[in-house]
Amino acid sequence: MATPHSRARLLHNPLLGLALLASPAFADCREDAELAAAFMNQYLALIVETPERDVTQWLREQPLASAELAEAYAAEQARGRAIDAEMGWGVDLLLDAQDSPDQGFTLAQCGPAPEHVQLRGIDWAEFRVTLRLADTPQGRRVAGAGRININEAERAPR
């Protein structure tokens, strides 16, 4: 029977660590993290360089975003505007925050649920955002980010 001590020894075994890193689940996470970071870094460039650009239209044209994400974003934005025509929800829906890192994002962790990754700011490690990825007919795409298509329990802590 495994004890807490014997499980701890397994975790410190370098060969086991290499085997885990080579496993398909970790490879999928790395690929998902690269896609998620590319998407969020392109989004940061959009909001810094062309803040007047319509995000819904950008999402519809964005090859890394799923149609599901674009439509859910448009619906959530409309709900927020119905509450407050000027401010909407008062946060950036894809960042789930009012601010953002200046230097972009990198992987913080795989999870908190399957097909989810959590990114952290490169220059602001405490800033985190969760993204959900999904297989679509066009390939792997971002299907959720920040407050959009991410359950509250799976969102990055604030």
How far, in Å, CA of 108 to CA of 29, rounded?
11
Per-residue DSSP letter, 65:
B
For residue 83, being part of any structural domain is answered with: yes
Q: What is the pLDDT of residues 10-36, one digit of tens each?
A: 334 333 333 333 334 555 899 999 999
Q: Is residue 21 in a domain?
A: no
Burial of 15 (0-12, 13-18, 19+ CB in 10 A): exposed
CB 47 within 8 A of CB 39: no
Cβ–Cβ < 8 Å for 36, 115: no
Question: Over the stretch 83-142, which tens digit does the pLDDT of each residue have?
Answer: 988 888 989 999 999 999 999 999 999 988 889 999 999 999 999 999 999 999 999 999
Counted domains in the chain = 1
CA atoms within 13 A on the CB side of 18: 3
Q: What is the pLDDT of residue 17?
A: 37
Which residues span the domain enclosing 147? 28-154
7 falls within a domain? no
Q: Residue 18's pLDDT is what?
A: 35
* Residue 71 tokens, joined: 């439509």
DSSP state of 92: B
Residue 4 forms part of a structural domain: no
Question: Looking at the domain assignment, is residue 3 inside a domain?
Answer: no
In a domain, 1, yes or no: no
- Residue 86, pLDDT score: 85
Residue 147 identity (one-letter amino acid) = R
Q: In the 8-state DSSP scheme, what is residue 155?
A: S
Q: Rounded distance, CA 147 to CA 17, Å?
A: 33
pTM: 0.80
Provide φ and ψ at 119, rounded to 5°. Answer: -100, 155
Is 42 part of any domain? yes
Residue 85 lies in a domain: yes
Mean pLDDT of 69-80: 97
3-class secondary-structure state, position 48: helix
Confidence of residue 73 (pLDDT cuts 50, 70, 90): very high
> Which H or E run includes 131?
strand 128-136
